[in-house]
Amino acid sequence: MIMSMTGFGSGLSQKGGISVAVEIRTVNHRFLDLHIRLSREYSLLETEIQQAIRSVLTRGRVDVSVTIQSTAPAELLVNKDLARGYMEAARALREELRLADTLELRTLLTLPGVVQNRDSIEITEGGDSNLRDALTESLQTALDGVVRMRRQEGEALRSEMGRHLTGIADQAGQAKANVPATVEDYRTRLQERLEQLLPPKLVDPQRLAQEVAILAERSDISEEFARLDSHISQFSGLLESGREVGKKMDFLLQEMQREVNTMLSKSGNLDITRLGIAIKADIEKLREQVQNVE
């Protein structure tokens, strides 16, 4: 089953007084473009998050938001060493500049880093297992939601693309059926034109047959039809083959477009021209849809 690159999933887990909420949004992109929003104090977890996502998603822009909070009552910690440093710096500055004021306690407590909330302390390698367990669980739940939505979107895409592909195959079959009439139509028009310009006795049937044969060779589009049929068959197979087929589909559509353009340039038949234009319209619709296939 093919997968879309559009998806959303969220997860929430609580372990040992720690709550981890994860939201993942994905849209189409040529490659895997991963963006993670995570508080700086938990930056050590970013590599783990990247690895988990890359093991599941292979293409698309992926925006991940991770919120980590403590569910336990807030516990304030005082960094005494940092407070002493502030006091010594203030004392030295006061003596050097001969200032009267001193650093009061209420001012000291507001200085950066003196008072910290326990759940905002930066973790270390191999740190809190509760945090990592909660992150793993919520991240997996969010990824499951993303994959589920991408599959649903992919099924809708597969159905719509299958409809356009059937249209291309039908129109190609009709165009192929008009090929014999192209040569006969040219022979009739050429003969009528010659009879208008020359006396009947001067129209050489053998020469006319040669000219028709030359045109038939120049306007032969049987190879283009054969390659187009092959591309259609391969594309149909990709619709049923599974994931990571978007780039292959895009390539096949480029080749289909090339074959149709060649057919239009070589054939002067109005019916083939009309059908070729219709095929190109369906190819363009398919190309728009393939942009969102993983």
| pLDDT for residue 227 | 94
Cβ atoms 5, 29 nearer than 8 A = yes
Average pLDDT of 217-245? 85
Cβ atoms 216, 183 nearer than 8 A = yes
Is the pLDDT reported for residue 291 higher than 60? yes
Average pLDDT of 226-243? 90
| pLDDT for residue 42 | 86
Q: State the average pLDDT for the chain.
A: 83
The two structure tokens encoding residue 199: 């006396």
For the segment 20-77, what is each residue's pLDDT rounded down to a tens digit?
999 999 999 989 999 999 988 788 899 999 999 999 999 999 999 999 887 766 667 7
Average pLDDT of 224-230? 92
The two structure tokens encoding residue 140: 């997996």
DSSP annotation of 11 reads: E
Nearest CA among 236, 166, 238, 237 for reference residue 3? 238
DSSP annotation of 74 reads: P
- d(Cα 167, Cα 277) in Å, to the nearest integer? 12
| pLDDT for residue 23 | 97
Is the pLDDT reported for residue 126 higher than 60? no
**Which of 31-40, 93-102, 246-255 is least confident?**
93-102
For the segment 163-200, what is each residue's pLDDT rounded down to a tens digit?
999 999 999 999 888 877 666 666 666 656 655 555 66
Residue 150, burial from CB neighbour count under 10 angstroms (0-12, 13-18, 19+):
buried
- d(Cα 280, Cα 270) in Å, to the nearest integer? 15
CATH class of the region 153-290: mainly alpha
Residue partners of 185: CB distance under 8 A and separation at least 6: 269
Type and span of the H or E element at 115: strand 115-117
Question: Rounded to whole angstroms, what are the CA distances from 135 to 15, 50, 76, 129, 143?
Answer: 9, 12, 24, 10, 12
| pLDDT for residue 121 | 39
Helices (H), the chain: 46-54, 80-97, 105-108, 129-177, 179-197, 205-218, 222-241, 246-266, 270-290
| pLDDT for residue 204 | 61
| pLDDT for residue 174 | 92
For the segment 260-286, what is each residue's pLDDT rounded down to a tens digit?
999 888 777 788 889 999 999 999 999
- d(Cα 61, Cα 69) in Å, to the nearest integer? 26
